[in-house]
A = this chain, B = another copy of it.
Amino acid sequence: MTDLSPILEQADKNLTASLERLFELVRIPSISTDPAYKAECRKAGEWLVAELNGLGFTASLRDTPGHPMVVAHHEAGRPDAPHVLFYGHYDVQPVDPIELWENDPFDPKVKDIGNGRKVLTGRGTSDDKGQLMTFVEACRAYKEVAGSLPVRITILFEGEEESGSPSLKPFLEANADELKAEFALVCDTSMWDTQTPAIAATLRGLVGEEITVFAADRDLHSGLFGGAAANPIHILTTALAGLRDETGRVTLPGFYDGVEETPENIKASWETLGRDAKTFLGEVGLSEPSGEKGRSVLELTWARPTCEVNGIWGGYTGEGFKTVIAAQASAKVSFRLVGEQDPDKIRESFRAYIRSKIPSDCRVEFQEHGASPAIQLSYDSPVLTKAKAALSDEWPKPAVVVGMGGSIPIVGDFQTYLGMDSLLVGYGLIDDRIHSPNEKYDLNSFHKGIRSWIRILAAL
């Protein structure tokens, strides 16, 4: 194997400039769920195209019905080298509640948080701009020192990951020949802890639904109509409350079809990781696992399905009080899926259940917000084994193979449309507050993340 020291040293030397490039990207508020930021999403894509072209990739922006894709290609130094597809996303989550941010989410800073730890503040520093830039900067260092790349690389950056990736499947289908590689590298996951890199082998799927219950044709005065007129907030809260029983199980018929119990040996390996309710929930001010009774927090978040209400609104929500019976009430509901759970069947079961709770003189409307099945990757493929060794060389502790609670639908889409598996490596940390105010990325995640990719690219 090549001596990697000069390349790793080059990455070290580049760090200040690498950071400045990441910050340029973070300063673009590419919030994909909010149409007001459409132009900013495009700008982030254009910025990436320019960067990649500057690095010697052949990069272009590809229009979709939604936000554009960034696609880039680079040949390997050796003709027999493998071909990999690297995936990341340049879009970010909304920033509300904005008043809880300590720093402007789109004016990133390096902040010393004590104990020798420095972090990069801002929306997207971790999810996923910081993560994808580790790969871009790894390619830069490699080329600057070796003059070439050790593998053939295709890059795909999308701009709709945070809004359910509506354009992704058609794009993969239409461009399968161009995008297909031997396997994919996906950088949108976390480390086990600050010392221990992780490779994710299972990912929960997701079904997103929005429901609106309609009752009277106008808001009503609760004095005049209260007691006689249907209140859509009652209908909605009662229906939502009935989704779980007292043991925390989801009550929808057929919900657990395709959910397997986790093998004992896997559960045993998770036990050794030392993450329990106290440490995991304690970090966010909680202490009691809230889901299915009698299961560990790792099982609950990696291997069990959930039903969560992500948002609810209806009636008067301003200052003071208004004795109103609302005309409508809404909620956003999501299900995390595991094993072989079928997203479409769960959506159907949910809708049938909700409809059964709507009085005959009221009605309900549903809006779909994405669906993806869960993913289970092999625990012992050659690619995973090589990456595990490369990561273990870079970090203080050896890499671990873990489950992931979140959905990365792209992994399923790569299987379906391009016939390839993915290797999930990322350098986020559990306290990165992704999707929340005060998102950050450790400087160490960024720096050693770049170095990790150099090692992985060489190992492949």
* Residues of A near any B CB (own CB < 8 A): 32-35, 93-94, 96-97, 100, 162-164, 190, 204, 206, 208, 210, 215-231, 233-234, 236-238, 240-242, 244, 277, 280-281, 284-292, 297, 300-301, 304-306, 308-326, 329-332, 334, 336, 359-362, 369-370, 404-407, 430, 433-438
CB distance from A335 to the nearest CB of B (A): 9
On chain B, the residues within 8 Å of A162 by CB distance are 322
The verdict on A309 contacting B315 (CB below 8 Å), with A164-B321, A228-B280, A334-B323 known, is yes
* Contact, CB under 8 Å: B309 / A223: no
Residue in contact with A237 in the complex, picked from B93, B204, B215, B309, CB distance below 8 Å: B309
| A326: B residues at CB distance < 8 A | 310-311
Contacts A334-B323, A406-B224 given; does A237 touch B312 at CB 8 Å: yes
Known: A226-B301, A318-B33. A436 touches B218 (CB 8 A): yes
Q: Which residue of the partner chain, among B222, B313, B435, B437, contacts A334 with CB atoms under 8 Å?
A: B222
Cβ 8 A contact of A228, one of B289, B407, B436: B289
Q: Which of chain B's residues have a CB closer than 8 A to the CB of A310?
A: 222, 233, 315-316, 321-326
Contact A222 B306, beta carbon cutoff 8 Å:
yes
User: In the bound complex, what is the Cα–Cα distance between A330 and B100 (angstroms)?
Assistant: 18
Q: A320, B228: Cβ atoms under 8 Å?
A: no
Is B314 in contact with A311, judged by CB distance below 8 angstroms?
Answer: yes
What residues of B have a CB within 8 angstroms of the CB of A304 in the complex?
227
Which residues from chain B contact A219 at a C-beta distance below 8 Å?
97, 435-437
Contact A321 B332 (CB under 8 A): yes
Contact check, B220 vs A284: say whether CB atoms are below 8 A apart. yes
CA distance A326 to B318 in the complex (A): 18
A299 to chain B, nearest CB (A): 9
Can you name 16 extra interface pairs (CB under 8 A) apart from A288-B359, A313-B313? A33-B322, A163-B320, A190-B224, A204-B223, A210-B321, A224-B301, A224-B434, A226-B301, A228-B297, A229-B290, A234-B241, A237-B241, A241-B242, A286-B362, A311-B326, A324-B435
A94 and B318 within 8 A (CB): yes
List of B residues within 8 angstroms of A370 by Cβ: 321
In whole angstroms, how far apart are the Cα atoms of A315 and B183 in the complex? Answer: 37
- When distances are taken between beta carbons in the complex, the residues of chain B under 8 Å from A305 are 227
Q: Which of B208, B277, B316, B433 lies in contact with A321, CB distance below 8 A?
A: B208
Q: Nearest-CB distance from A54 to chain B (Å)?
A: 33
B277, B324, B332, B430: which contacts A436 (Cβ < 8 A)? B324
Please determine whether B315 and A332 come into contact, CB atoms closer than 8 angstroms. yes
Chain B residues within an 8 Å CB radius of A332: 315-317, 321-322
Among B216, B284, B311, which residue has its beta carbon within 8 angstroms of that of A216?
B284
Which of B236, B297, B361 meets A281, CB within 8 Å? B361
A206 CA to B210 CA, complexed, in Å: 33
Q: Which of B35, B225, B316 contacts A301 (CB 8 A)?
A: B225
Q: Are A223 and B405 in contact (CB under 8 A)?
A: yes
Residues of B within 8 A of A336 (CB): 222-223, 226-227
Q: Indicate which residue in B231, B288, B329 contacts A290 across the interface (CB closer than 8 Å).
A: B231
Check if A301 sits within 8 Å of B208, measured CB to CB: no
Report B-chain residues with C-beta under 8 Å of the C-beta of A218: 100, 284-285, 433, 436-438
CB distance from A292 to the nearest CB of B (A): 7
A91 CB to nearest B CB, Å: 11
Q: Contact at B244–A234, with CB atoms within 8 Å?
A: yes
Supposing A218-B436, A286-B215 touch, asked if A319 and B208 sit within 8 A by C-beta, the answer is no
- The minimal Cβ–Cβ distance linking A397 to chain B, given in whole angstroms, is 21
| CB of A334 to closest CB in B, whole Å | 6
With A206-B323, A323-B208 already in contact, the answer to whether A231 and B285 are too (CB < 8 A) is no
Closest to A298 in B: B228
